[in-house]
Structure formats: structure tokens, C-alpha cells
Homo-oligomer: A and B are copies of this chain.
Amino acid sequence: MENEEPRPLLVSFIASGQGAWRIERIDTIVGESLPAADRLEVVESPSPSLSVAPAWVLRGVTSNVRYTNRLELDALQQSQEPLNRPLATRAALIPIRKTAAWWNLAQDERRRIFEEQSHHIAIGLEYLPAIARRLHHSRELHEPFDFLTWFEYAPEHSDAFEQLVLRLRNTEEWHYVDREIDIRLVRS
């Protein structure tokens, strides 16, 4: 599931006592955890003003697709829906970091693992349009994670979302993930 925004958008995810999203839980899947917090604000700005001291801030930037081919991109663009749908009151923020072994691979090797072996794009397509998502790149910003993926869905698609996440974690690609946090949120 890659992002196809034409212009990079810098986004800050700010965890503190305030924000539009209530944090239901923060599960550490692998590696170091993140501090607990009550609420999360998603700010489309590189340097948001902070009225309270945050528990943590994660930053990422949308970018061009890195693996998605034309046929896949057309299929994604035909089916995917935007963020901020009124019925999509559930969200997940899943920060991950990949190993040096991943980043040292050549482009064709990463593509083969990502799609031909792990079917990352094909699996994501199965859950459209129910689950909307936006990918943010963090590695080049010297952040603690390489990617921040943000998902939004309606409550009735919660089980589908669990299935999506478990299927992705069970892929060859995920052998290269050495830090992953799963943060679930409710708009309120």
C-alpha cells in the first residue's frame, strides 16, 4: 500500500492529552515501545505549534510510489477512498522500521519481496474501498521509524482490518521489519 500524492506533504502525529483521536491502545509488535498517551492529533505541517508537552511526535512525508507498477496504480486509484470520511471513525497508526539488510537490497530485489513474494499491493487492494490509508516516509527525516502508515475505516470493518494487518505481518517482507508499533484510535 503505497501513496501516490503528487506533492510531498509533511505530517506530524502528536500524542498528548488532546487531539481529535482517542488512543484506544498502543501494542508493541516488535522492538522498542512508545510511551502511553490519551489522544492523538494529526497535523499536516512540518512544525506544528504545540500547546502542551507531547508524549511523543512522529513525523513523515508523503511521496511518489516506490514499487507500484502502472496496472497496480490504476487499480488502486479506481478503488481507494480519501481520508476523513464521516463514517470512518476508527483509525490505526502503524510505525515500522526495516533492517539495514532491506535497505541494502537493489530495487528489483525489494520489489520481488514486496509484491511477487509478499503480495503487499494485492492484499491491500482486497480491502478497498473500506480501508483508506496514507503512507508517510520517515527514514530520510532521521526519524526513529522508516514509515508511518495511517489507516481509517468504519467500525463494521474492524475485523477486516485485523485480518489485513495479520496477513501483512505474515509475509516475507515482514522478516525485514525490526520495529513495529500498532496504535488504534477512535475519533471522538
Contacts and interface: CB of A to CB of B under 8 A. Distances in A.
Name which of A6, A8, A109, A140 has the most chain B CB atoms within 10 A of its CB: A140
A108 B115 CA distance: 13
Interface stretch (A20-28, A99-107, A167-175): A99-107
Nearest to A63: B140
B69 A106 contact: yes
A187 interface: no
Contacts of A122: none
A53 to B, nearest CB: 22
**Size category of the binding interface on chain A:** 20 to 34
Q: What 5 A-B pairs come out closest when comparing CB atoms?
A: A69-B108, A70-B106, A73-B106, A61-B140, A64-B103
A111 B66 CA distance: 10
A66 B142 contact: no
A137 interface: yes
Contacts of A44: none
A139 interface: yes
Nearest to A65: B107
B107 A68 contact: yes
A108 B64 CA distance: 12
A8 B66 contact: no
Contacts of A73: 106
